[in-house]
Structure 1
């Protein structure tokens, strides 16, 4: 008898959880917006073509005059062969290393079709990768 009472109680409890109408927390049915005419199309004129070229900003800090504006050959003559040379599109990243620091030099063309030249320099300590003075790193790595 106990088992039957438990089954009846369980089924009554479960039936209370099932409802034929949606819960009240559901959003009400939304009316479809009336059909409207699309806004008039406007003629979009493309910008004058520059071939996708965007001139880079050139770093201008004291002590970097011998690096900024130089091409890859001039930088290799100044610091020796780069430890790393990465080309991405028409840009380069050259990395020069020494005991004191690591110097990353970024080269971009200054005009469409021009040879990439150094426009930005980043420097960090070789031991723990903390930023260091760029000009001091340039002086430390010069041949």
Structure 2
């Protein structure tokens, strides 16, 4: 019993030294901001003179006009068809009109077999007249 009293007194002294935790005002988290990605702008198609017969056409229409392409490359977001003739090599790039829409030609590139650039309209005309 002699030892209990000093231990109890020491425990009471230690408890008195401990301060209670500070009361803090609850921190309010800001409401989450919902951010939506901006919709893709509509794809603009620039038609230059002589390309009207190709721009806006789908792959089936091109095959009816030019025959089977030498290359038919399906990419993540689009497709490339390559038509070849003596006058030139014509690359046509097809992309969906809208999400889930049909793929149509939005860009045309033309060159000779040595890589020299060729007028795109002249290339199309040359391939049509072969």
The question of whether the paired residues in 2 share the 8 Å contact of 1:55 and 1:109 is answered with: no
With normalisation by structure 1, the TM-score equals 0.63
Return the offset for 1:69: 0.4
Correspondence list, 1:6-85, <5 A: 43-47=32-36, 50=39, 55-85=42-72
Structure 1 residue ranges (4+ consecutive) displaced by more than 2 angstroms after TM superposition: 40-45, 53-57
> Which position in structure 2 is the counterpart of 1:94?
81
- Corresponding residue SS for 2:61: helix
> Which position in structure 1 is the counterpart of 2:98?
111
For structure 2, the 5+ residue unaligned runs are 1-28
> Which position in structure 1 is the counterpart of 2:22?
none
Return the offset for 1:44: 3.9
Give the total of aligned pairs: 101
- Corresponding residue SS for 2:117: coil
- Corresponding residue SS for 1:85: strand
Q: 1:125 to 1:41 in 2, by over 3 A?
A: farther
With normalisation by structure 2, the TM-score equals 0.69
